[in-house]
Chains A and B, each alone.
Chain A
């Protein structure tokens, strides 16, 4: 009996020693992200792990989790131990901050509003642009069918909605009333509201429904690359919104797991020349001018408004437009 206890103790000691040695050397990070960043972060993770090993001699494994942005934020709130979150809109990170997992003021902790790369909303149309759609104003013409996901369930779709609203606001004589009339008209032309961005892409591409898909620029580039320019093409409107997908360290988790240093370095890597080049390769607009110049595709110049200057931040935009009884609900009254 005593011998057995001894063996057990030795075993426990060995196991503990083993894990603590492992912990000193290797780290595992969980990056909880939204849907279309899967390929981007696969490449980022490999590059960062290599750089981290070269710099510190330690190995780091990064796991990624993808899903709708809001769903992912709720998973983190409910206890999914994300070291970092890289979501589609700041509103979702704000929700995590309100749950006490991310310290307030998170958006000032990293450069550029905590958004290392950006995108915008463009139109994807069928080859040859048979309906001759050029700008937002063309989308409300009778007989034009517009595909966009539901802004109530898709973070990406909220950017679409706000881009349309901002365009109408900037037209001569534009006001909240004319903007509302415009988006109401626009959504009258939407036959299907999928719950997520990839669902809408399917509706447009696979089912052949609709004349134009409102899409993130990176998704539009990807669609052209995968389907070929003989099937779909991109139309850049005169004016759109700067889509800023934010990144943040989840303070409570990294303090518990003692991974703050590597988590912080991971996010800072996104701002490095190498990180920026990878973002550009996956059709996100890099913040860095040099990376922008070397990007494999030319990002068109267009006037971009931000959520802060036109809508007074996400909290306001959410309350006015997407909360129950907001402008979006009023369209379907």
Chain B
């Protein structure tokens, strides 16, 4: 508690910056979310429960959470490889690839969706050969996963990069000189050090995917019960001026995301502690 006392603080301006942070968080995050919860509360529990547990809503949660999780896991694996390559090796074109990683951030999601649909539709460059192998991507849940993987990639790479950069190669050399082989060095020295950042990046990619609408609606085909994502169900309800139903599903998404992110945070704290102990 001592560090909260003003005269012991090394850096001035704690009160001001904390006040500003709280104000900003309230304005940008908490007030809109509170308004959402308040709106939901005004409709009555029965209506909310009914909208939340309708078969179509349940099918859309399965798709949204399933595809988001799958996309986050794919990004976790390949994002690690990309970050590793970008940090550890010097090769021509490295800066270009580094810049390309940010592209999904910058590209309007609708553009990404249309481009991916063109590619993966059965008439597209990638869709045609895949279809001849019997794999349909566009207008199936796989297509949803592809779009979500695209938008989530930068999160994993950008959270891992600084941590990998800070990780001194000498640590690995030390491990090697102590008799560890290459695999051991990676598994027991590198991975524990980057695990918290890795989890954060994956969680961010996952959270981003849950709310994604713009790119997915083009590639998913939007078939009820099959390829309808939860944000689309919200839009559908709004289109019928069914604000209660839309709010109910929004709140469900919010609560589940919150719980999942909380769980990931715990996991991250645990892995950070374990890393510190080792």
Q: Which A residues are closer than 8 A to B by beta carbons?
A: 68, 70-71, 74, 95, 150, 152-153, 191-195, 199, 202, 206-209, 318, 322-324, 329, 332-333
For residue B218, which residue of chain A has the nearest CB?
A199
When the two chains form their complex, are residues B239 and A70 in contact, meaning their CB atoms are under 8 A apart? yes
Please name all residues of chain B whose beta carbon is closer than 8 Å to the beta carbon of A199 when the two chains form the complex.
217-218
Known contacts A199-B217, A209-B123, then 16 further A-B pairs from the complex at CB < 8 Å, ordered by chain A residue: A68-B239, A70-B240, A95-B241, A152-B239, A153-B239, A191-B139, A193-B221, A193-B222, A193-B224, A194-B217, A194-B218, A202-B114, A207-B118, A207-B123, A208-B121, A329-B224
Complex alpha-carbon distance, A322 and B237, angstroms? 10
Please name all residues of chain A whose beta carbon is closer than 8 Å to the beta carbon of B245 when the two chains form the complex.
324
Q: Which B residues are closer than 8 A to A by beta carbons?
A: 51, 54-56, 114, 117-118, 121-124, 139, 217-218, 221-225, 232, 235-242, 245
Complex alpha-carbon distance, A191 and B220, angstroms? 11
Q: Which of B123, B239, B240, B245 has the most CB of A within 10 A?
A: B239
Q: Which of A68, A150, A323 has the most CB of B within 10 A?
A: A150
When the two chains form their complex, are residues A195 and B222 in contact, meaning their CB atoms are under 8 A apart? yes
* 6 shortest interchain CB distances as A-B pairs: A332-B224, A192-B221, A70-B239, A152-B236, A207-B121, A193-B222
Kindly identify which residue among B122, B225, B235 contacts A195, using a CB–CB cutoff of 8 Å: B235
Chain B proximity of A323: nearest CB distance (Å): 6
Q: Which of A68, A209, A333 has the most CB of B within 10 A?
A: A209
Complex alpha-carbon distance, A178 and B84, angstroms? 62
Please name all residues of chain B whose beta carbon is closer than 8 Å to the beta carbon of A71 when the two chains form the complex.
238-239
Chain A proximity of B133: nearest CB distance (Å): 19
When the two chains form their complex, are residues B121 and A324 in contact, meaning their CB atoms are under 8 A apart? no
For residue A150, which residue of chain B has the nearest CB?
B222
Chain B proximity of A46: nearest CB distance (Å): 30
What are 10 pairs between A and B in contact, CB < 8 Å? A68-B239, A71-B239, A74-B238, A95-B241, A152-B240, A192-B222, A202-B114, A208-B121, A208-B123, A332-B56
Complex alpha-carbon distance, A70 and B237, angstroms? 11
When the two chains form their complex, are residues A207 and B240 in contact, meaning their CB atoms are under 8 A apart? no
Kindly identify which residue among B54, B217, B221, B241 contacts A191, using a CB–CB cutoff of 8 Å: B221
Q: Which of B54, B224, B225, B238 has the most CB of A within 10 A?
A: B224
Complex alpha-carbon distance, A206 and B51, angstroms? 36
For residue A322, which residue of chain B has the nearest CB?
B240
When the two chains form their complex, are residues A324 and B241 in contact, meaning their CB atoms are under 8 A apart? no
When the two chains form their complex, are residues B223 and A207 in contact, meaning their CB atoms are under 8 A apart? no
Please name all residues of chain A whose beta carbon is closer than 8 Å to the beta carbon of B235 when the two chains form the complex.
153, 195
When the two chains form their complex, are residues A318 and B240 in contact, meaning their CB atoms are under 8 A apart? yes
When the two chains form their complex, are residues A207 and B117 in contact, meaning their CB atoms are under 8 A apart? yes
Complex alpha-carbon distance, A70 and B118, angstroms? 27
Please name all residues of chain B whose beta carbon is closer than 8 Å to the beta carbon of A195 when the two chains form the complex.
217, 222, 232, 235
Complex alpha-carbon distance, A323 and B248, angstroms? 16
When the two chains form their complex, are residues A332 and B225 in contact, meaning their CB atoms are under 8 A apart? yes
Complex alpha-carbon distance, A323 and B240, angstroms? 7
User: Known: A192-B139, A193-B221. Is A70-B238 also a contact (CB below 8 A)?
Assistant: yes
Chain B proximity of A35: nearest CB distance (Å): 14
Please name all residues of chain B whose beta carbon is closer than 8 Å to the beta carbon of A95 when the two chains form the complex.
241
Please name all residues of chain B whose beta carbon is closer than 8 Å to the beta carbon of A329 when the two chains form the complex.
56, 224
For residue B225, which residue of chain A has the nearest CB?
A332
Complex alpha-carbon distance, A74 and B121, angstroms? 33
Q: Which of A71, A95, A332 has the most CB of B within 10 A?
A: A332
When the two chains form their complex, are residues B223 and A324 in contact, meaning their CB atoms are under 8 A apart? no
When the two chains form their complex, are residues B223 and A332 in contact, meaning their CB atoms are under 8 A apart? yes
Chain A proximity of B232: nearest CB distance (Å): 7
Chain A proximity of B239: nearest CB distance (Å): 4
When the two chains form their complex, are residues A194 and B238 in contact, meaning their CB atoms are under 8 A apart? no
Complex alpha-carbon distance, A202 and B236, angstroms? 21
Please name all residues of chain A whose beta carbon is closer than 8 Å to the beta carbon of B240 when the two chains form the complex.
70, 152, 318, 322-324
Please name all residues of chain B whose beta carbon is closer than 8 Å to the beta carbon of A150 when the two chains form the complex.
222, 236
When the two chains form their complex, are residues A153 and B236 in contact, meaning their CB atoms are under 8 A apart? yes
Please name all residues of chain B whose beta carbon is closer than 8 Å to the beta carbon of A191 when the two chains form the complex.
139, 221
For residue B240, which residue of chain A has the nearest CB?
A323
Kindly identify which residue among A68, A74, A193, A202 contacts B223, using a CB–CB cutoff of 8 Å: A193
For residue B124, which residue of chain A has the nearest CB?
A207
For residue B121, which residue of chain A has the nearest CB?
A207
Please name all residues of chain B whose beta carbon is closer than 8 Å to the beta carbon of A70 when the two chains form the complex.
238-241
Chain B proximity of A315: nearest CB distance (Å): 12
Chain B proximity of A97: nearest CB distance (Å): 12
Please name all residues of chain A whose beta carbon is closer than 8 Å to the beta carbon of B217 when the two chains form the complex.
194-195, 199
Please name all residues of chain B whose beta carbon is closer than 8 Å to the beta carbon of A207 when the two chains form the complex.
117-118, 121, 123-124
Chain B proximity of A327: nearest CB distance (Å): 13
Please name all residues of chain A whose beta carbon is closer than 8 Å to the beta carbon of B118 when the two chains form the complex.
206-207
Chain B proximity of A214: nearest CB distance (Å): 16
Complex alpha-carbon distance, A322 and B241, angstroms? 12
Chain B proximity of A50: nearest CB distance (Å): 36
Please name all residues of chain A whose beta carbon is closer than 8 Å to the beta carbon of B55 when the two chains form the complex.
333
When the two chains form their complex, are residues B238 and A209 in contact, meaning their CB atoms are under 8 A apart? no
Chain B proximity of A331: nearest CB distance (Å): 8
Please name all residues of chain B whose beta carbon is closer than 8 Å to the beta carbon of A194 when the two chains form the complex.
217-218, 222
Complex alpha-carbon distance, A70 and B232, angstroms? 14
